[in-house]
Amino acid sequence: MMTGTVNTTQELAAFLRSRRERLDPRDFDLPSRRRARRTPGLRREEVAELAGVSIDYIVRLEQARGLRPSANVVEALARALRLAPDERAYLFNLAQQRPRNADKPATTAAPPLAQLVADLSPLPAMLMNHRYDILAWNGEMARLLLDFDTLPPSRRNAMWLCLVHPEMREFYVDRERVVREGIAHLRAAWAAHPEDQALIDLITECTTRNEEFARLWAERDVKVNGRGHKVMRHPGAGVIAVHFEVLVPLQDPDQRLMIGRAADDESRSALDRLCAR
């Protein structure tokens, strides 16, 4: 039984031992050894071999002798022990290291989330990934912002649209704040996903081709907005103020569900008229 504050060193040692002992040596392409196995699972030297570290290092980790493994070592141990994603995240947390993104960034909507976006009508909703690619949307969001079906998939990106698309350039009343907050989000995403070439290409294109983006990017603001307020000049419905909330699904953490709702009675009436068309 565990009570009180977690002793991360002790729990890291116990967790590594438990994951090692549950593995079946027959599932691994390991050199055959003549001595009999007296304990279940892999031997420490086998884990060391799979992870590319010394046997002494594994012994010291499992004996809670004060080691704090680096992110590279934690990643190697997670692979060697064939940890599931949740176990891998737990190991990184115990080691007080930030996990690398295990999966490739989402480029399509997870089907349950795409259905949820549709089911959220009449609230405007859309699904994006960390780089602001728009993966799914409902009719209300398309009427509020833009008919995304008219765009090639490569241009369904909220930041690119706000900067470049002629219908969106003057869409937001407080345009600079919206762009500044979007760039601050992209900078945080850039640091969290340093190997995402598509994100790097987007930032490079915007920096070299858009003076406004280049100026704000150089300020190095970093901020991730989970909720906020935007005021829009809709060409058919007038000024609409919207509160938005961004939710991150546990099962698909690279996908972000944005839900909008009218901020006042006038905006609610304008949205109702817009969505009734």
The answer to whether 122 and 270 are in contact (CB under 8 A) is no
CA distance 141 to 124: 4
Q: Which residue has the higher pLDDT, 191 or 4?
A: 191
Q: What pLDDT score was predicted for residue 100?
A: 62
Q: What is the pLDDT of residues 227-259, one digit of tens each?
A: 999 999 998 899 999 999 999 998 888 899 999
Q: What is the pLDDT of residues 83-124, one digit of tens each?
A: 988 788 888 888 888 766 555 778 899 999 999 999 999 999
Confidence of residue 1 (pLDDT cuts 50, 70, 90): very low
Q: What pLDDT score was predicted for residue 221?
A: 87
Q: What pLDDT score was predicted for residue 75?
A: 94
- State yes or no: pLDDT of 141 exceeds 80: yes
- Nearest residue to 271 (alpha-carbon basis) of 139, 119, 262: 262
Please work out, in degrees rounded to the nearest 5, the angle formed at the alpha carbon of residue 96 by the alpha carbons of 90 and 98.
Answer: 75
CA dihedral 67, 68, 70, 73 (to 10 degrees): 50
CA distance 232 to 174: 8
Confidence of residue 3 (pLDDT cuts 50, 70, 90): very low
Residue 211, token pair as written in the block: 């003076």
Q: What is the DSSP string of 107-156?
A: -S--HHHHHHHHHTTTS-EEEEETT-BEEEE-HHHHHHT--GGGS-GGG-
**CA neighbours closer than 13 Å in the CB half-sphere of residue 36:** 1
The answer to whether 219 and 207 are in contact (CB under 8 A) is no
The residue behind tokens 């290092």 is 57
Residue 193, token pair as written in the block: 């996903």
Q: What is the DSSP string of 225-236?
A: -SEEEEEEEETT
CA distance 263 to 134: 23
Query: What is the mean pLDDT of the segment spanning 142-168?
Result: 92
Helix, strand or coil, per DSSP, at residue 205: helix
Confidence of residue 162 (pLDDT cuts 50, 70, 90): very high
Q: Which residue has the higher pLDDT, 105 or 263?
A: 263
Residue 108, token pair as written in the block: 């399509």
- State yes or no: pLDDT of 151 exceeds 50: yes
Write phi, then psi, for 246 (nearest 5 degrees).
-115, 125
